[in-house]
């Protein structure tokens, strides 16, 4: 199943879904048309060094581990499915200085959809300067931990940070030497707690920078090791070189093992609750009780506690030190219910999975661009470039497509293909430039079967109040406003409540984006053709407080003969202006129709108020070949 290709490279680009009202697309690194950075982890990356392999028997489909395209296909499938299933209720996560994730590490056919929820969260809150990846060996236990180049190829490892942590922690501890541990591990079966995370990290762009990975393999799951590691990481991030770097921390762990699905749900729901509520010492006591009750860490036997509990204890400890008090359960399931193709009877013995994020309550704003760059980008957005308008159009069209497919209950491979606009995705530089634009109002208009003669309107919603669009919880940056408008036009335009857009209409979809200038008061006699207008009835006037808006593009649709319209002259208004004002006042503001003389009187005495705005307009070209 191939999602999309371009010169042999898998293509997938993730963008914000407007119901989240967050900047998911705004801060990720675009992957379309680029070869994904192939991180060379000696644990395992696509048959790399060390003989270990990426998926082994855990995938359950038995394909060659050197088949990297298949791996990317599975990752893209998981991310696409996660995006289509994203919760409408979950509030957005703003960009973060530090973010910690707990993610599962089973084969992608089983836990990929759960892990993908966490990686979409990471993509939204990035980009990232460093990734601290914490795993463990299932088949071998030892005191302390291994770091950096002992685990992964030094070409992607931040060796300085790894050496700092190893010195602080003491490396391998107890009676076992590091050499003995390495020899034992080399003879052991392939380890997957870290390897399963590498393609996800690469796919969201978190490993594109050189020496961006800080891998840690815990030898035991004691509270002492977890707390010592958390102290070392906190000390590292306090160093001058790292104090302003954005760090993503990923802890790899599944939950309970090999219970019936009904039992697993009860066990793991309680465990997840403890993870997000308890401090590290109390959580350690909880895990010890589970160990006494539920068996030992044995891949062939049942266990009630998470296999990566040492990493989870680290998560609890470091989140407290860094103030990551916003703990969110992004997804929870098991190997039967989240499997792409569940096997009959496999619900009798399942592995539990959860994706959990630890973040600060607010964005930290530690972005390394110089202020001068931000200021110049902002001033450049006063008049958007064609590339910026095209980027907004792409984001809006994709949101319309995703929402249409979601409403229809479509989550299959064909839906993943249909979710992608036909036009190339915008580059990351263009998206980033839009991050720093001044606030704008914006409207999104959805058409199907559009031609010069017979456009079919399927939704139109927007907002003119720059900085106050769609409620205080909504991200007010321009790409978020546009995608929110696209979502609302698709799912909530009341005119189409009983006839929402259908997947079969996406073939001939056309999206019009109008980015508005700030509305300013204007007298009726100063209105010119091409102006967008807002009319408001004054509080306490003869009408209840009503408001109506017409976009500048409506001038082209007036069923009145063309004639030049300038400021009102002594000879009176043109028929086109009268018709535009009539539509604005009666159709949009729902103010009772009256004579032109009475209407002009209401404008003069202040009962009605006019504001004028301009708009830059972009129309998508996806329907260019539709008849």
Domains assigned to the chain: 40-359 (3.40.830.10), 375-445+458-516 (3.30.700), 520-616 (3.30.1490.150)
Q: Which whole-number Å values give the CA distances from 317 to 101, 142, 271, 280, 323, in the listed order?
A: 13, 21, 17, 5, 10
Which residues does residue 257 pair with via DSSP β-bridges, in sequence order?
A: 303, 351
Instruction: Please name which of 493, 397, 405 lies closest in space to residue 450, comparing C-alpha atoms.
Output: 397
What one-character DSSP code corresponds to residue 588?
I
- The per-residue DSSP string of 404-445 comes to HHHHTT--SHHHHHHTS-SSPPPPHHHHHHHHTSPP-EEEEE
What does the DSSP assignment read for 301-318?
S-BSS-TTHHHHHHHHHH
Residues in the chain: 627
Residue 62 has pLDDT above 70, yes or no: no
pLDDT of residue 49: 34
Q: Please list the residues that pair with 329 across neighbouring strands.
A: 356
Dihedral sign (CA 101, 103, 108, 114): negative
* Alpha helices, H only, 86-222: 108-125, 159-169, 178-186, 198-203
pLDDT at 540: 53
Specify the higher pLDDT residue, 494 or 621. Answer: 494
Q: How confident is the model at residue 417 (pLDDT cuts 50, 70, 90)?
A: confident
Q: Which carries the bigger pLDDT value, residue 502 or residue 37?
A: 502
Closest alpha carbon to 159 in 215, 237, 231:
215
| Six-digit token string for 599 | 């209407």
Indicate the angle between helix axes 68-85 and 386-407, nearest 10 degrees.
80
Phi, psi of 34 (to 5 degrees): -120, 145
Higher per-residue pLDDT: 491 or 84: 491
pLDDT at 432 over 90: no
> What pLDDT is stored for residue 373 in this prediction?
29
What pLDDT shows up at residue 15?
24
In the predicted model, is pLDDT for residue 176 greater than 90?
no
Least confident among 112-121, 510-519, 566-575: 566-575
- Report the alpha-carbon angle 407-408-410, nearest 5: 110
Q: Which residues of 537-546 are buried (b: 16+ CB within 10 A; e: fewer)?
A: beeebebeee
pLDDT of residue 59: 34
Q: Is the pLDDT of residue 42 over 60?
A: no
Please return the burial class of 222, using the count of CB atoms within 10 Å of its CB with bins 0-12, 13-18 and 19+.
middle
CB-based contact 236:166 (threshold 8 Å): no
CA 468 – CA 462 distance, rounded (Å): 12
375 or 73, higher pLDDT = 73
pLDDT, tens digit, for every residue of 230-253? 999 999 999 999 999 999 999 999
Whole-angstrom Cα distance, residue 419 to residue 416? 5
- Taking only the tens place, the pLDDT of each residue in 484-528 is 999 999 999 999 999 999 998 998 899 999 999 999 999 998 998
Q: What is the pLDDT of residues 368-395, one digit of tens each?
A: 332 232 333 344 466 888 888 998 999 9
């Amino acid at each position: 199943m191939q999602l999309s290709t371009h010169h042999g490279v898998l293509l997938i680009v993730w963008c914000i879904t407007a119901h989240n009202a967050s900047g998911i697309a705004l801060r990720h690194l675009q992957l379309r048309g680029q070869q994904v950075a192939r991180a060379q982890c000696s644990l395992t990356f696509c048959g790399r060094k060390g003989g270990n392999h990426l998926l082994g028997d855990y995938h359950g489909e038995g394909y060659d581990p050197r088949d990297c395209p298949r791996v990317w296909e599975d990752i893209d499938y998981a991310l696409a499915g996660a995006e289509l299933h994203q919760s409408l209720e979950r509030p957005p996560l703003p960009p973060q200085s530090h973010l910690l994730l707990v993610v599962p590490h089973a084969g992608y056919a089983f836990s990929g959809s759960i892990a993908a929820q966490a990686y979409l969260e990471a993509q939204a809150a990035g980009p990232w300067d460093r990734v601290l990846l914490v795993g463990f060996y299932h088949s071998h236990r030892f005191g302390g931990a291994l770091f950096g180049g002992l685990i992964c190829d030094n070409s992607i490892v931040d060796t300085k940070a790894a050496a700092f942590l190893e010195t602080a922690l003491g490396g391998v501890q107890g009676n076992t030497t590091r050499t003995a541990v390495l020899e034992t591990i080399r003879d052991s079966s392939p380890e997957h707690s870290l390897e399963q995370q590498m393609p996800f990290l690469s796919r969201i762009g978190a490993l594109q920078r050189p020496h961006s990975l800080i891998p840690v393999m815990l030898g035991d799951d004691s509270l002492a090791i977890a707390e010592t590691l958390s102290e070392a990481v906190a000390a590292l991030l306090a160093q001058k070189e790292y104090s302003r770097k954005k760090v993503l921390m990923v802890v790899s762990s599944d939950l309970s093992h090999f219970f019936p699905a009904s039992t697993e749900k009860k066990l793991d729901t309680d465990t997840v609750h403890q993870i997000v509520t308890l401090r590290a010492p109390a959580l350690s006591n909880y895990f010890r009780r589970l160990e006494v009750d539920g068996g030992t860490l044995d891949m062939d036997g049942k266990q009630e506690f998470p296999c990566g509990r040492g990493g989870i204890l680290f998560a609890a400890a470091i989140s407290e030190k860094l103030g990551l008090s916003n703990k969110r359960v992004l997804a929870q399931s098991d190997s039967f219910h989240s499997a792409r193709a569940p096997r009959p009877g496999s619900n009798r013995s399942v592995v539990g999975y959860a994706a959990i994020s630890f973040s600060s309550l607010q964005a930290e704003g530690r972005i390394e661009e110089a202020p001068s760059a931000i200021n110049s980008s902002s001033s450049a957005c006063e008049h958007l470039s064609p590339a910026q308008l095209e980027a907004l159009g792409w984001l809006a069209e994709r949101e319309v497509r995703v929402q249409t497919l979601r409403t229809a209950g479509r989550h299959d491979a064909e839906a993943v293909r249909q979710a992608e606009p036909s036009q190339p995705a915008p580059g990351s530089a263009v998206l980033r430039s839009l991050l720093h634009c001044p606030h704008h109002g914006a409207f999104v208009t959805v058409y199907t079967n559009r031609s010069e003669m017979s456009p079919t309107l399927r939704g139109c919603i927007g907002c003119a109040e720059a900085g106050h669009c769609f409620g205080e919880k909504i991200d007010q940056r321009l790409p978020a406003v546009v995608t929110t408008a696209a979502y609302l036009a698709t799912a909530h335009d009341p005119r189409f409540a009983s006839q929402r857009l259908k997947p079969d209409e996406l073939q001939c979809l056309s999206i019009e984006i109008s980015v508005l200038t700030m509305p300013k008061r204007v007298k009726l006699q100063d209105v010119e053709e091409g102006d967008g207008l807002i009319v408001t009835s004054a509080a306490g006037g003869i009408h209840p407080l009503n408001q109506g808006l017409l976009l500048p593009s409506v001038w082209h649709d007036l069923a009145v003969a063309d004639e030049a319209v300038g400021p009102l002259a002594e000879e009176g208004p043109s028929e086109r202006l009268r018709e535009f004002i009539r539509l604005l006042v009666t159709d949009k503001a729902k103010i009772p129709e009256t004579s032109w003389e009475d209407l002009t009187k209401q404008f003069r005495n202040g009962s009605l108020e006019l504001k004028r705005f301009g708009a830059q307009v972009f129309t998508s070209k996806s329907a260019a070949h539709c008849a």
